[in-house]
Structure 1
Amino acid sequence: MSPANASPGQAVTVSAPDAGCDPRYGSDAQIEVIVTDASGAEVIHETAPMNDAGGFTYTFTVPSDTAAGEASVTALPYNLDWCDDTGRNNRVPGAMGAAGVDLERVSCALPLRPLLITR
């Protein structure tokens, strides 16, 4: 993520390289980016293109009403299963939430990065 400190109105870029485990997310894969400010308000919640190997670059502008202090930024594959820390592709066949299939987050840590919002 760059920069690590930003003010309202400033652009911030979140990116990740391709994964080394061949996740095969598909040609229509998306990344979900969520920014929660220091007050706990969700100020960004967007999806953006992600490549088949999980690489992406997403740039957002810090909203004017973002509270000063430490915000958190998370980015994870949108509408896909959660990992199970084994290194294997554990994708459930079909769409997430398909009939009779309930997915739950298991032992993965939610990927959070701090973003210091200054005024």
Structure 2
Amino acid sequence: MSSSARPARRRLQRAALPISAVMLLSLASAGCGASVGGAPPCLPPEHTVSPSSAKPGDSVTVSAPDAKCDPRYGEDAVISIVFIDAAGVEVLNTTAPMADAGGFNFTAEVPLNSAPGVMAVNAMPHGVDWCDDTGKNNRVSQGELPLERASCVLPTKPLNITK
């Protein structure tokens, strides 16, 4: 790469996508699961958010059924749940119990300080490197630009916050 191309690439790398663009990209893909004993990768089950619209203080439920495959998360498995409001502020970051097969049911109140608009609700297995399903190191450094999380996208669902 020429030295004149490097600054432009760095600028692009630092550019932040608006939350709506990140959510759109996330909705188009699913995360990856671990490959155990030569079995094909087992994706974490897709989560849902209910209701789809709420006000600060209202209860919402984030849940997922057990996976149709066997991800083997273990008897002490937990799901990480993060709410990021329309202003890009993380208003909730917690964990909840999850079944060995990935199913979970979590209910919380929408934090009172949540900005109105589309909130991102992220849910992913906690403490599990669930992106590395290929058996290869996808974090190999390429010169100045390390590659990270090449095989997965953060599982995100929208929640419309009204005042």
TM-score by length of 1: 0.81
1:109 aligns with 2:153: yes
Aligned counterpart in structure 2 of residue 32 of structure 1, from 80, 88, 93: 80
Per-residue CA deviation, residues 6-34 of structure 1 (Å, 9 max, x unaligned), is 00110000000101120110000000000
Match of 1:81 in 2: 129
Letter in 2 for 1:28: D
| Partners of 2:51 and 2:106 in 1: CA distance | 13
Residues 1-119 of structure 1: pairs in structure 2 closer than 5 A: 1-84=49-132, 104-119=148-163
Q: CA RMSD in A?
A: 1.4
The runs of at least 4 aligned residues of structure 1 exceeding 4 Å deviation read none
SS at match of 1:15: strand
Paired residues in the alignment total 103
Residues 23, 52 of structure 1: 8 Å contact kept: yes
Q: Which has the higher strand share?
A: 1
SS at match of 1:57: strand
Per-residue CA deviation, residues 38-69 of structure 1 (Å, 9 max, x unaligned), is 00000010000000000000011001110001
Give how far 1:71 is off: 0.6
Letter in 2 for 1:69: G
Q: Which has the higher helix share?
A: 2
TM-score by length of 2: 0.60
Letter in 2 for 1:32: S
| Partners of 2:152 and 2:95 in 1: CA distance | 21
Give how far 1:106 is off: 2.6
Q: Which ranges in structure 2 are unaligned for 5 or more consecutive residues?
A: 1-48, 136-147
Q: Which ranges in structure 1 are unaligned for 5 or more consecutive residues?
A: 91-103
Say which one has the larger Rg: 2
